[in-house]
Amino acid sequence: MEVGVERRGNARVIAVKGRIDHLNASAFHEQLTPHLQHCRSNGDGIVLDLSALDYISSAGLRIFMMAAKQARAQGGRIAVAQMQALVQEIFEISHFHLVYEIFTTTDEAVAALNRQPETAGT
Amino acid sequence: MQPASSAISARRWPIWIAGLTMLGLLLGLHATHTPAHRALQLTLLDAYQKAWPRERKSAPAVIVAIDEASLAKYGQWPWPRSELARLVNAIGALKPAAIGIDLLFPEPDRHGGNAVTAEATGNDLLFAVALRDNRAVLAIAGTVAEGAGGGGNFPPVRVEGSDPLLLMPLLPQFRSVIRSTPVLDRAAAGHGIISADAPDGIIRNIPLAVAVQNAIAPTLALEVIRVAAGEPVIRLRANADGLLSVGTGDVAVPVDREGRAWIHYSHHDPDRFVSAVDVLEGRVDPARINSKLVLVGLTGLALVDYPATPVNSSIPGAEIHAQLIENIFDGDHLTRPSWAPSAELLALALCGTLFVLLTPLLRPWLAMSGAVALIAALAATGAGAFRISGVLLDVASPAVALMLVFMTTMAGKLIETERQRRRLRETLQIERETAARVAGELEAARRVQTGLLPDSASLTVIEARCDVAAWMAPAREVGGDLYDFFKPSADRVTFLVGDVSGKGLPASLFMAISKALCKSAALRSGGAVERILTEANAEIARDNPEAMFVTAVLCSLDLQTGELRYANAGHDAPILIGAGGLTRLVQAGGPPLCMFDHHDYPGAAHTLAAGETVLLYTDGVTEAMDVERRLYGRDRLCAVLKTLPPATSCADIIAAVRKDLQAFGAVEMLADDITMLALRWHGPAAKT
């Protein structure tokens, strides 16, 4: 699992590569935490670019859920983009579309987050 | 769990205390000059002399030896004084600078006088005249016995820088002296002491001045120089601490505070000697005697005890005086300065403290190298001081003391290491016991958790319309998966499989709560699976600080009609195994329980045909991994299920999947909890 971060406007694009399972879920959480702190109503939005994420286990989903809960509590926006088929299926089974804004491309996600930052989390 | 063993480290303070105690003890011994310390010190100073003996540069003194040849020619000792008078006159004829007689004549000549009345004989008078005419110096021996001859008749002494009365107690003390008969004594031009300390038979130094009763007397060699130079007085220079030098005229010989001059010895040299018989018979080269300081002494082997020096195992006494004279003329002095003992003590204190403090901090080989280097540096300092400036430094006793200190600290280090090892062993034992206890508690927890799960026999024995089998393998002792099946009413069986995010003890606690709340909701709501999940979700989500969530699939089967109602909370869809193959019950889903505090879960229905089987499983099955971290996957699961004959029992279905998981090489199978539950409806007719 590797994580790359890029700022695009008010969005922090976090690209996750490889797999998130019980072995590295807590490491992933640690890398996500500093960005989550800025994900608030007048702060940055987060776009998780999952184009290179091959697999996510239930331990990884738990981190996604905690991230979504924290972002929502802070009034921030968090989105996922470019999911691979397997990850998309896991998301669907778990109904994560109910907590995450899902975009086909990272550009769309960035555009969406930059367009209406003030309406987030309401 | 942090092992307690990491907290154990080697203690340093016991080593420091042991080392400093040893050092203190040795410093005390060093300061009090014990015999052992003194012997060690002298051994080293002797070693310096042996290693680097003095080379003769000049020959200011010559010894006229009454040797074996002389005795053979002129008869046994003592010779008649007339013969000695002839010898002194013969020497005097060759114009020496001075003559010192390293012999004592306490009795009158027995060859022609009255030994009983000690009356001077003609021979004595002849000798006395010869002594006077040639300005000879006579030897005087100091003795600690009372009663023999007294002081007096010594050259005047001038003391500079101190009070003679304060200096006197520092000098070697003689209560009385043995001196020649009065007629000889009075005739001599000077009188010098020939006594020297030889505590272990080795003469290392000679007191240049001694105290005889209330007088200060010079040593023979110095008195000979005084007479040769025609100086009136012996001069002592001193300060408050003690003597600095003893001399006469231009000569000032450095001495220790008690007036002793350390002699830098050369090897025995026959060139220093001329035989008395050659002098008496005029065979000697006049240049050997002319202007020299002549010492007359006995060397006939049978006659005298030969003292030893650090360089010579035995040496005629007169040669020691001759060597002292050479030291003085060549300015080749050995000194043991008054600061030397303090410096040695300080070196020991500093180096010792360094050893004690550093040894526990360094690796053994480094500490050892450092110790060797430091001791080598001490040895080099001692040797250098001797060679370059003739300063006698005792580095042996500090070095030996340092070795003892080093051995003490190293021993302390070894003992401390051993203690640490023992403590580690004990701690390891405790940790093992603790681990065993925890394992025991976890084992108990596992039994409790297993006890929470229903036994398939409990249902199938009383219910012939269905067959059920379930299997759960926790990744650790306890797991976060759950399954349940029960009959809320006579014609209904409700069953579910769930998966708490995470595993181990925290997940197992959440699993127990989730299972209980699901069951109570199911008992309240009958076959309304959507209501069961909605209520269970609300109740489980109420207290969830750890943000855990549970995926679950819940089914409720009407045993009479075969209607299967099901609802899914973020879980893998159940697989329907029927005559026509496999079907997934993918409709009717919601998010995992606890994702939202309130969520209305939809339900769905599917009517089973008799003989159809529903398989519920957790992702531990499909996400089991082999060595190369490939997923087992649903496709492989389905492939196994397809190979099974239609009549395969639920227990055999699960056994087949387990067997295939093993065949797949799911080494990481237990990376996650694995649960499977299979239920087959036999149809309404099978009612018991």
Number of domains into which chain B is organized: 2
Which chain A residues contact residue B549 at CB under 8 A? 61-62, 65
Give the H/E segment covering residue B98. strand B98-101
Q: Are residues B463 and B315 in the same domain?
A: no
> Among the three residues B311, B330, B349, which one is the final residue of a domain in this structure?
B330
List residues in chain A touching B: CB distance below 8 A.
Answer: 21-23, 55, 57-59, 61-62, 65-66, 69, 93-96, 98-99
Q: At what angle do helices B317-330 and B220-229 cross, to 10 degrees?
A: 50
Whether chain A has a CB inside 8 Å of the CB on B573: the answer is yes
Strand partners, B485: B495
Contact assessment for residue B547 and residue A62, using Cβ atoms and an 8 Å cutoff: yes
Backbone φ and ψ of B576, nearest 5°: -100, 125
pLDDT of residue B6: 47
Q: What is the C-alpha to C-alpha distance for residues B416 and B431, in angstroms, rounded to an integer?
A: 22
> Among the three residues B330, B358, B376, which one is the final residue of a domain in this structure?
B330
Nearest-CA neighbor of B13 among B396, B349, B307, B409? Answer: B409
Residue corresponding to tokens 């499989």: B497
Strand partners, B158: B235
CATH, residue B645: 3.60.40.10
* Any domain includes B467: yes
CB contact under 8 A, A62 and B549: yes
> Among the three residues B330, B345, B369, which one is the final residue of a domain in this structure?
B330
pLDDT of residue B462: 72
* Any domain includes B251: no
B304 Cβ neighbours under 8 A, 6+ residues apart: B298, B316, B317
pLDDT of residue B8: 60
Residues listed for chain B: 688
**How distant, in Å, are the alpha carbons of B121, B482, B493, B572 from that of B496?**
145, 8, 10, 12
Residue corresponding to tokens 């995470």: B502
Residue B426 CB neighbours (<10 A)? 12
3-state SS string for B343-383: HHHHHHHHHHHHHHHHCCCCCHHHHHHHHHHHHHHHHHHHH
Q: What is the C-alpha to C-alpha distance for residues B151 and A26, in angstroms, rounded to an integer?
A: 103
CB contact under 8 A, B547 and A62: yes
Give the H/E segment covering residue B497. strand B492-500
Compute the half-sphere exposure of residue B117: CA atoms within 13 Å on the CB side of its CA: 6
**ipTM rounded to 2 decimals:** 0.78
pLDDT of residue B324: 92
Number of domains into which chain A is organized: 1
Look at residue A117 and tell me whether its pLDDT is greater than 70. Answer: no
Whether chain A has a CB inside 8 Å of the CB on B129: the answer is no
Nearest-CA neighbor of B48 among B253, B261, B204? Answer: B204
Structural domain range at position A58? 2-119
Whether chain A has a CB inside 8 Å of the CB on B502: the answer is yes
| Blockwise average pLDDT, block size 10, chain B, 688 residues | 51 84 86 81 89 89 91 86 92 93 85 55 87 92 72 83 86 87 89 84 90 88 93 91 90 90 91 92 91 90 73 86 91 86 89 86 86 91 91 88 88 87 89 83 82 80 85 81 90 92 79 90 87 91 80 93 92 89 82 87 92 92 82 90 90 93 73 88 74
Strand partners, B616: B677
Nearest-CA neighbor of B292 among B327, B324, B325, B252? Answer: B325
* Any domain includes B198: yes
pLDDT of residue A119: 47
Structural domain range at position B289? 57-232+263-330
pLDDT of residue B119: 56
**How distant, in Å, are the alpha carbons of B413, B430, B439 from that of B5?**
19, 10, 19
Look at residue A121 and tell me whether its pLDDT is greater than 50. Answer: no
Q: How are strands ordered across the β-sheet holding A11-20?
A: A2-8, A11-20, A45-56, A78-81, A101-103
* Any domain includes B425: no
Q: What is the C-alpha to C-alpha distance for residues B418 and B14, in angstroms, rounded to an integer?
A: 13
* Any domain includes B16: no
Q: Using CA atoms in the order A33, A104, B550, B584, what is the torsion angle rounded to 10 degrees?
A: -160
DSSP state of B568: E
pLDDT of residue B686: 58
Residue B604 amino acid letter: A
CB contact under 8 A, A95 and B589: yes
pLDDT of residue B1: 42
For residue B117, count CB atoms less than 10 angstroms from its CB and return exposed for 0-12, middle for 13-18, buried for 19 or more: exposed
pLDDT in tens, A19-78: 888 778 889 999 988 888 888 888 788 899 999 998 888 778 888 888 888 888 888 888
pLDDT of residue B496: 94
Residue A19 three-state SS: strand
Q: What is the C-alpha to C-alpha distance for residues A6 and A16, in angstroms, rounded to an integer?
A: 12
CATH, residue A81: 3.30.750.24
Tell me what the pLDDT averaged over chain A comes to.
84
* Any domain includes B574: yes
CB contact under 8 A, A93 and B571: yes
